A = this chain, B = another copy of it.
Amino acid sequence: MVTIYDIAAQANVSAMTVSRVINNTGKISEKTRLKVKKVMDELGYVPNQMARSLVLQQTRILFLLITDIMNPFYTTLARGAEDAARKHGYRLLFGNSDESLDKEGEYINTILTTRVDGALLAPAGDPSLPHLEQLRKHNVPFVLLDREVPGIACDIVLGDSKDGARSLVEHLVKQGHRRIALVNGSSSISSARLRLQGFQEAMKLNDLTLREEDIHETTFGPHLDVEAMGLWIDTIVMDSMPTAIMAGNNVLAVVLIRLLRARGLRIPEDISVVCFDDFGLNSEVDPFITVAAQQAYQFGYLGMQMLIERIQERNSPPPWKRIMLPAELIVRRSVKTQG
């Protein structure tokens, strides 16, 4: 490995001079600068970021932790975060927690041990609290995305889950649906809770009775219990079907639809389906599911901006900021108008 000492020796200067050339600090004669640069090129010098970070106590690297890299919501969000980071000259590293608290813990560890300058994170849920406390304790600036964690005050970008859920229900009601079921993510996740609330409120507002068995709680994300959901469907189907089902996010909707079809049910002819979050790439090609779409890109972009501000104002920290982004109802073909 080529070090500044190798260069110093070759160029007949001190290591310090080389360091100055690299970082453009201090005053250096044009002659030595050129000489040093030449040797650097010849030897193919690459600065050692670890050594530099060790003394500088900063990395100029930020970390983005998402919970499901196969979910278009998060990948779109990642693009937004990336764009904002680049704009401010930061590098961005990604991690994927897979909605798993353990994996999240590992990444928190990576964040801590690699001493990145800050982190943008979508927490796995309320139990993520200790992880966030770790970050706080070690002075790692962070911004939360999409999910609030009770017990910690911090910057956050949220979607208006309650209102989004409400608008989905309203839409169904306007189409004549009276009995509506819900498959939702874990109630240990703030967004899932709010979607449930919005759902319940909208039902009440429309004087619709909500049967307890019409609500099924499972998990967002990649490891959801498909069998349990199938069982639930069998139960409510046997028991005189609801005419519509709302899914707490896009992944749930996909699994739901697959299961419904496996039971010979057509959508929307036999049963209607709506969900939270859009589908990225090919929702453009053959837009099928009626959704409450979130501004995924903005989540990432704005969140990253907040994070960078927080880092820059480190010395005189501003009050915690909170951004709430609306969800937009996009009507497509998965809802049938009821007689």
Contact = CB atoms under 8 A, between A and B. Distances in A.
A168 B113 CA distance: 49
Interface centre among A49, A110, A282 (most CB of B within 10 A): A282
Contacts of A307: none
Given A282-B288, A285-B289, 7 more contacts: A49-B114, A70-B281, A72-B72, A91-B110, A254-B284, A254-B285, A279-B285
A146 to B, nearest CB: 17
Contact of A115 (B48, B92, B138, B288): B48
A237 B96 CA distance: 44
A46 interface: yes
A150 interface: no
Contacts of A103: 86
A99 interface: no
30 contacts: A44-B138, A46-B112, A48-B115, A49-B113, A50-B50, A50-B51, A50-B54, A54-B54, A69-B75, A69-B94, A70-B76, A70-B280, A75-B75, A82-B96, A86-B103, A91-B106, A91-B110, A94-B96, A251-B281, A254-B281, A258-B285, A279-B281, A280-B280, A280-B281, A282-B283, A282-B288, A285-B288, A286-B286, A286-B288, A286-B289
A10 interface: no
A95 B96 contact: no
A78 B72 contact: no
A169 interface: no
A153 interface: no
Contacts of A176: none
A53 interface: yes
Contact of A279 (B49, B71, B91, B282): B282
Interface in A59-79: 59, 61, 69-72, 75-76, 78-79
Contacts of A258: 284-285
A76 B70 CA distance: 6
A253 interface: yes
A53 B51 CA distance: 9
A167 to B, nearest CB: 21
Contacts of A78: 69, 96
A113 B46 contact: yes
B281 A47 contact: no
A137 interface: yes
A121 to B, nearest CB: 14
A93 interface: yes
A113 B70 contact: no
A133 to B, nearest CB: 10
A327 interface: no
A257 interface: yes
Contacts of A94: 69, 93-96
Given A69-B75, A94-B94, A115 B49 contact: yes
Contacts of A48: 54, 113, 115
Contacts of A86: 103
A115 B3 CA distance: 14
